[in-house]
Amino acid sequence: LQMPGGGAPQPVAVKELAPGASQREQDEFVREFRVAYAASQRCPGACRMYGCVHRGQALCLVMKQYAHSLADALDERCDGAPLSVQEALPIALQVATALEQLHAADIVVRDLKPSNVLVDEEGRMVISDFGIALVAETTLTRATVTGTGRPKGTTSYMSPELWNPEDLGRATGKADVWAWACVVVEILSGARPWRGKSEQQIMFQVVMKKGVPEIPVGLPTRLDVLLRRCFAYAAADRPTAGEIAV
């Protein structure tokens, strides 16, 4: 991408919507760009979005190219070894700070996970993929379930209210706080939350049994307590991203 003002061309990443997509899919794709662009303009902790363009018959989102994702970094570790607390805390705090910025801009991610945390060349973390994010003007009207009735999100990181919005209320930034704790548990344990369980089994554990992902033993007391607060069943009982980032 040639930058304005004659700067050196910058490498970009392109997300493409295949030709033949339905009008609904096209509308959602454009909406994702608008949310992501707004986030990138207002939040340093959001991925940098450049534009939405047509390439032939395909609709494309154009964004900054990042070095890798947090998921890639975890996969590259020898034998999937977990991070130490000393390694994990700076990552966790950067992600919490990014969430704080997004929530201040009235954006709820709803799909926070390691593959949606991108890392630049200097090791800075940013949040990407706003395809199912909620924004202020649509939080009261946009459904939390897909047309097939399946809850939106990635099952291993979903809070109780994302599974059961009818009874527990719409998603707020507290749903992202639950997902943040899932990410922290994953980087500290080397295992994805609820590994080996089906979607229905996870939903039963989270919604019916009020279960939480397994928290690694031996963590510093303050971190252990914080993670347990983030996994509170009632969203109102969880801390905000701002409280975590302090």
What is the set of active-site residues? Answer: 111
Do residues 240 and 104 lie in contact, with contact meaning Cβ atoms separated by under 8 Å?
no
Name residues whose C-beta falls within 8 Å of residue 168's C-beta, 6 or more positions apart in sequence.
160, 161, 235
Q: Which residues contact 214 (CB under 8 A, 6 or more apart)?
A: 185, 189, 193
Cα four-point dihedral sign 141, 240, 157, 73? positive
Q: How far apart are CA 34 and CA 13, in angstroms?
A: 17
Give the relative orientation of helices 221-230 and 173-189 as an angle to the nearest 10 degrees: 140
Taking the alpha carbons of 95, 97, 101, 104 in that order, is the dihedral positive or negative?
Answer: positive
